[in-house]
Protein backbone atom coordinates (compact mmCIF):
# COMPACT_ATOMS: atom_id res chain seq x y z
CA UNK A 1 0.00 0.00 0.00
CA UNK A 2 2.70 2.50 0.95
CA UNK A 3 4.46 1.79 -2.33
CA UNK A 4 1.38 2.97 -4.25
CA UNK A 5 1.31 6.30 -2.41
CA UNK A 6 5.00 7.16 -2.13
CA UNK A 7 6.91 4.88 -4.48
CA UNK A 8 10.20 6.81 -4.40
CA UNK A 9 10.32 6.96 -0.59
CA UNK A 10 9.58 3.23 -0.29
CA UNK A 11 12.21 2.42 -2.92
CA UNK A 12 14.75 4.43 -0.89
CA UNK A 13 13.79 2.68 2.35
CA UNK A 14 14.09 -0.76 0.75
CA UNK A 15 17.36 -0.09 -1.09
CA UNK A 16 19.17 2.09 1.44
CA UNK A 17 17.74 1.24 4.86
CA UNK A 18 17.04 -2.50 4.90
CA UNK A 19 19.80 -5.12 4.99
CA UNK A 20 19.45 -8.90 5.45
CA UNK A 21 21.35 -10.60 8.27
CA UNK A 22 21.93 -14.36 8.47
CA UNK A 23 22.56 -15.82 11.92
CA UNK A 24 23.72 -19.28 12.94
CA UNK A 25 22.67 -20.81 16.25
CA UNK A 26 24.53 -18.95 19.00
CA UNK A 27 25.24 -15.82 16.92
CA UNK A 28 24.58 -12.55 18.71
CA UNK A 29 22.40 -9.92 17.00
CA UNK A 30 23.04 -7.22 19.62
CA UNK A 31 24.42 -6.96 23.15
CA UNK A 32 23.39 -5.22 26.33
CA UNK A 33 24.87 -1.76 26.81
CA UNK A 34 25.44 -1.04 23.11
CA UNK A 35 23.72 1.79 21.27
CA UNK A 36 20.64 0.67 19.35
CA UNK A 37 20.87 1.88 15.74
CA UNK A 38 18.67 -0.68 13.97
CA UNK A 39 15.20 -2.16 14.14
CA UNK A 40 14.99 -5.88 13.36
CA UNK A 41 12.34 -8.06 11.68
CA UNK A 42 12.66 -11.83 12.03
CA UNK A 43 11.89 -13.52 8.70
CA UNK A 44 12.84 -17.06 9.76
CA UNK A 45 14.26 -18.89 12.75
CA UNK A 46 14.10 -18.06 16.45
CA UNK A 47 15.93 -15.54 18.63
CA UNK A 48 16.28 -15.33 22.41
CA UNK A 49 16.38 -11.97 24.20
CA UNK A 50 18.03 -12.25 27.62
CA UNK A 51 18.77 -9.63 30.24
CA UNK A 52 19.76 -9.40 33.87
CA UNK A 53 17.53 -6.61 35.00
CA UNK A 54 16.57 -4.64 38.02
CA UNK A 55 13.21 -2.89 38.05
CA UNK A 56 12.05 -3.91 34.60
CA UNK A 57 8.96 -1.78 33.97
CA UNK A 58 8.58 -1.69 30.20
CA UNK A 59 8.96 -3.62 27.00
CA UNK A 60 10.04 -0.84 24.63
CA UNK A 61 12.85 -2.91 23.12
CA UNK A 62 10.96 -6.17 22.67
CA UNK A 63 7.79 -6.15 20.53
CA UNK A 64 5.48 -8.70 19.00
CA UNK A 65 3.50 -9.01 15.81
CA UNK A 66 0.24 -8.13 17.51
CA UNK A 67 -0.49 -11.61 18.82
CA UNK A 68 -2.36 -11.62 22.11
CA UNK A 69 0.61 -11.56 24.46
CA UNK A 70 -0.73 -9.23 27.15
CA UNK A 71 0.69 -11.49 29.87
CA UNK A 72 4.20 -10.56 28.67
CA UNK A 73 3.66 -6.88 29.44
CA UNK A 74 3.26 -7.38 33.20
CA UNK A 75 5.96 -5.30 34.94
CA UNK A 76 8.62 -7.27 36.77
CA UNK A 77 9.86 -5.31 39.73
CA UNK A 78 12.97 -5.71 41.92
CA UNK A 79 14.38 -8.81 40.27
CA UNK A 80 17.95 -9.80 39.45
CA UNK A 81 17.17 -13.10 37.75
CA UNK A 82 17.68 -13.52 34.01
CA UNK A 83 14.63 -12.75 31.91
CA UNK A 84 14.27 -14.50 28.56
CA UNK A 85 11.86 -13.71 25.75
CA UNK A 86 11.73 -15.22 22.28
CA UNK A 87 11.12 -13.88 18.79
CA UNK A 88 10.05 -15.96 15.78
CA UNK A 89 9.27 -15.26 12.14
CA UNK A 90 6.87 -12.33 11.74
CA UNK A 91 7.95 -10.61 14.95
CA UNK A 92 10.24 -7.64 15.48
CA UNK A 93 12.33 -5.81 18.05
CA UNK A 94 14.03 -2.47 18.70
CA UNK A 95 11.26 -0.32 17.21
CA UNK A 96 12.04 2.24 19.92
CA UNK A 97 15.28 3.11 18.07
CA UNK A 98 13.24 4.81 15.34
CA UNK A 99 11.70 7.25 17.81
CA UNK A 100 14.48 8.00 20.30
CA UNK A 101 18.08 7.27 21.29
CA UNK A 102 18.26 3.88 22.97
CA UNK A 103 20.79 1.63 24.65
CA UNK A 104 20.14 -2.12 24.49
CA UNK A 105 19.04 -3.45 27.88
CA UNK A 106 19.66 -7.08 26.96
CA UNK A 107 21.32 -9.41 24.47
CA UNK A 108 19.61 -11.02 21.47
CA UNK A 109 21.02 -14.38 20.31
CA UNK A 110 19.87 -16.81 17.61
CA UNK A 111 18.75 -20.17 19.01
CA UNK A 112 18.79 -21.70 15.51
CA UNK A 113 19.59 -20.65 11.94
CA UNK A 114 17.74 -17.36 11.52
CA UNK A 115 17.22 -14.62 8.94
CA UNK A 116 16.61 -11.05 10.03
CA UNK A 117 15.95 -7.81 8.16
CA UNK A 118 17.75 -4.87 9.79
CA UNK A 119 16.38 -1.37 9.25
CA UNK A 120 19.14 1.21 9.71
CA UNK A 121 17.57 4.04 11.70
CA UNK A 122 19.75 6.83 10.27
CA UNK A 123 19.00 5.81 6.67
CA UNK A 124 15.31 5.25 7.46
CA UNK A 125 14.82 8.71 8.94
CA UNK A 126 16.35 10.31 5.83
CA UNK A 127 13.79 8.62 3.57
Instruction: Dump pLDDT digits (tens) for 50-60.
Output: 987 554 444 55
DSSP state of 62: B
CA separation, residue 43 to residues 76, 80, 100 (Å): 29, 32, 25
The CATH code of the domain that includes 69 is 2.60.120.10
Q: How far apart are CA 90 and CA 58, in angstroms?
A: 21
The residues with which 40 forms a beta bridge, in sequence order, are 93, 118
Largest CA distance in the chain: 48
DSSP state of 16: I
Domain that holds residue 10: 2-126
Q: What's the total number of domains in the chain?
A: 1
Mean pLDDT (the chain) is 80
pTM: 0.71
Amino acid sequence: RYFEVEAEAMRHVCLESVKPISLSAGDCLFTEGRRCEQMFFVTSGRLCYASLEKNRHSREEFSHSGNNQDHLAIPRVNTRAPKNDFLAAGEWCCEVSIWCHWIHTGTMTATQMSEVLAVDVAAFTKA
